[in-house]
Structure 1
Amino acid sequence: MADSSARSGASPGWLHRMTDSDVWWSFKSSPLTVTAAVATILIVAIAFLSPILAPHTPFDPATLSLSDGLKPPVLISSDGDWTFPLGTDDQGRDILSSIMYGTRLSLVVGIASVVVAMTLGITLGLLSGYFGGTIDAVIMRIADVQLTFPAILVALLIDGVVRTVISVQRHDEIALFVIVGAIGLSFWVQYARTVRGSVLVEKNKEYVQAARVIGLSPLVIMVRHVLPNVTGPVLVIATINLGLAIITEATLSFLGVGLPSTEPSLGTLIRLGNEVLQSGDWWITVFPGVTLAALVLAVNLLGDWLRDALNPKLR
């Protein structure tokens, strides 16, 4: 009976501790953070449910008609069509559906890029901080060199190298993986330097010394004991870098070196709209631009809050 009571009370106790934590109090006491969280969840949910929620399939040529091209939004013109509430582009694609599908692609690229950068940065940071010596010197000098170049230039360089190695058609087929790898390799330095600094502090503590005494391998010590104690700063960097990764992808796509027009992200949609902006068809680029700005702003606000909430000096 006592054991069953303990098991039944475990979940409420965990929930009670979470709702009584300083982080939760900081979150619910900031209306701006709550608004940013709601906006982020809403945009992400709509984006990933776009195959179900979108009124049209904007990138299926069989569903497009040139007679539907350049219809204005219904709220600003009597020539609008409620079938296309935000208007259409010159190919007859529904802007609302294009934004929903494009946001999903931007989020996929952003999240995958952060995962790649985080995995590479954490691994190199652990090795550099734990072993030190030559390994530390080599990794940190590479990081110092990369820091002298803006992330967008590193991504452009990597994408350019891939384009010279493979054909244009093949590049379009694997463009998503190329752009994820390029952005991921541009952002690993922050993770590596942060993790290295934390490992230099943690590896001299008693629990690490005890793990060495009982014969645990360095890999086990780093992954099982050191890594959980350095995840706080990493999560903050990941949240902030998500917005930067989305902006970087949008910039690359706007420059024409990102995702192809057949699978456009928000950046590609803005570029396509910019080509006809002078003719007065502003909605093609403005609505994707507003969506991109709202998404990045909401994510950055969450990142700023998380940084402050996990900083013990500000509690």
Structure 2
Amino acid sequence: MKRLLARAWDSDLAWSWRHTPVAVIATVLFVVLMVGAFGARWVAPHNPFDLATLNLLDALLPPAWLDGGQVSYLLGTDSQGRDLFSALLYGTRVSLLIGIASVALSMVIGIALGLLSGYAGGRTDAFIMRVADVQLSFPAILIALLIDGVVRAVVGTGNHDAIAFPVLVGAIALAGWPQYARTVRGSTLVEKNREYVQAARVIGVPAGVIMFRHVLPNVMGPVMVLATVHLATAIITEATLSFLGVGVPATSPSLGTLIRVGNDFLFSGEWWIVIFPGLALVLLVLSVNLLGDWLRDALNPRLN
């Protein structure tokens, strides 16, 4: 284990990370946000969604460093007396979970279709790519809204909150798979003509085994870069949907939901209710984007 860690630390990718200050700062910021989000149960000073602990007398308190603020509410409270700092931790966790789950599902769908399209060729390739082209002509947010509207019509608005999380993940994933399919297809068209693929065909290795065991590991570099960038896009898409009121329910709000709630108080003087969730969203997306930019440059042989 120590030998593997030492080898990983001495790799070209680790060397590039250590010598890129922006990547180091972005990684530290992202790890801090991840620890705070997934450790919210232990890090957060309050449980903002436990109605038994809320006190309306503590509503609309400013941050602790302003007049009228309290030390126990570091970033202030909202209109229901919820601790905003605790709400941010829990909201960041929801946003990250939806973003990671939707990216993972997009990768599974896109990689499978991209491998099939590039390896099979012919009509299969043409059909999959035309479907991807048609979907790419629509904005991702529009596709997600359409899927969410269809689900609401089928299950009813009253039952939507119970399945809001998987619906949101599926909607964002179905809107994002074409990028993976096109990227993997392009790399597969190159790899399938290499000698190792031809040798596998000659000895009778099944096409499925060749695609997933031999071709897939050699096309994952661009996919990982795309996944990093797509994570930021998925988080923004989820925040947009939640801001529009078609995202996760208010009982388990994400950053987008917190921004939507705080937007009602922006011009009434309680600026902290919307500014801090917006700042948390900006820092989260910025750290992911900076990591994606570094990874793209680190894996680009023309820049090394």
- Indicate how the Cα distance of structure 1 residues 95 and 202 shifts in structure 2: closer, same or farther if over 3 A, else same: same
Determine which of 146, 154, 161 is the counterpart of 1:157. 146
Within 5 Å, give how 1:11-26 maps onto structure 2: 11=1, 13-26=3-16
Please tell me whether residue 268 in structure 1 is matched to residue 257 in structure 2: yes
Q: How many residues align?
A: 304
Please tell me whether residue 166 in structure 1 is matched to residue 155 in structure 2: yes
Contiguous gaps of at least 5 residues in structure 2: none
For 2:232, the equivalent position in structure 1 comes to: 243
Question: 1: CA distance between counterparts of 2:71 and 2:8?
Answer: 46
Please tell me whether residue 229 in structure 1 is matched to residue 231 in structure 2: no
Partner secondary structure for residue 85 of structure 1: coil
Deviation at 1:16?
4.2
For 2:244, the equivalent position in structure 1 comes to: 255
For 1:3, the equivalent position in structure 2 comes to: none
Deviation at 1:192?
0.2
**Amino acid of the residue matched to residue 250 of structure 1?**
A
Determine which of 72, 85, 89 is the counterpart of 1:96. 85
Question: 2: CA distance between counterparts of 1:35 and 1:260?
Answer: 33
Partner secondary structure for residue 97 of structure 2: helix
Determine which of 43, 50, 70 is the counterpart of 1:81. 70
CA deviation map 1:64-108 (0-9, x unaligned): 12111111111122x111111111111111100000000000000
Sequence identity, in percent? 63
Question: 2: CA distance between counterparts of 1:12 and 1:275?
Answer: 53
Partner secondary structure for residue 219 of structure 2: helix
Deviation at 1:13?
4.8
For 1:7, the equivalent position in structure 2 comes to: none
Determine which of 12, 20, 34 is the counterpart of 1:30. 20
**Amino acid of the residue matched to residue 297 of structure 2?**
D
Determine which of 247, 268, 285 is the counterpart of 1:296. 285
For 1:187, the equivalent position in structure 2 comes to: 176
Please tell me whether residue 213 in structure 1 is matched to residue 202 in structure 2: yes
CA deviation map 1:277-308 (0-9, x unaligned): 22111111111110110010001000000000
For 1:314, the equivalent position in structure 2 comes to: 303
- Indicate how the Cα distance of structure 1 residues 53 and 13 shifts in structure 2: closer, same or farther if over 3 A, else same: closer
Question: 2: CA distance between counterparts of 1:270 and 1:197?
Answer: 39
For 1:305, the equivalent position in structure 2 comes to: 294
Question: 2: CA distance between counterparts of 1:173 and 1:265?
Answer: 15
Question: 1: CA distance between counterparts of 2:274 and 2:124?
Answer: 48
**Amino acid of the residue matched to residue 75 of structure 1?**
W
Q: What is the TM-score of this pair, normalised by structure 2?
A: 0.98
**Amino acid of the residue matched to residue 36 of structure 2?**
I
Please report the RMSD computed on the Cα atoms of aligned residues, expressed in angstroms.
1.1
Deviation at 1:24?
1.7
Determine which of 93, 107, 117 is the counterpart of 2:106. 117
**Amino acid of the residue matched to residue 130 of structure 1?**
Y
For 1:197, the equivalent position in structure 2 comes to: 186
For 1:65, the equivalent position in structure 2 comes to: 55
**Amino acid of the residue matched to residue 197 of structure 2?**
V
Please tell me whether residue 281 in structure 1 is matched to residue 270 in structure 2: yes
Please tell me whether residue 146 in structure 1 is matched to residue 124 in structure 2: no
**Amino acid of the residue matched to residue 49 of structure 2?**
F
CA deviation map 1:10-56 (0-9, x unaligned): x5554444333322221111111100000001100110000111111
Look at both structures and tell me which one has the larger radius of gyration over its CA atoms: 1
For 1:133, the equivalent position in structure 2 comes to: 122
CA deviation map 1:129-166 (0-9, x unaligned): 01011111110000111111111111111111111111
Question: 2: CA distance between counterparts of 1:168 and 1:261?
Answer: 14
Question: 1: CA distance between counterparts of 2:243 and 2:70?
Answer: 28
Using the TM superposition, name which of 229-238 and 147-156 deviates more. Answer: 147-156
Determine which of 35, 40, 43 is the counterpart of 1:53. 43
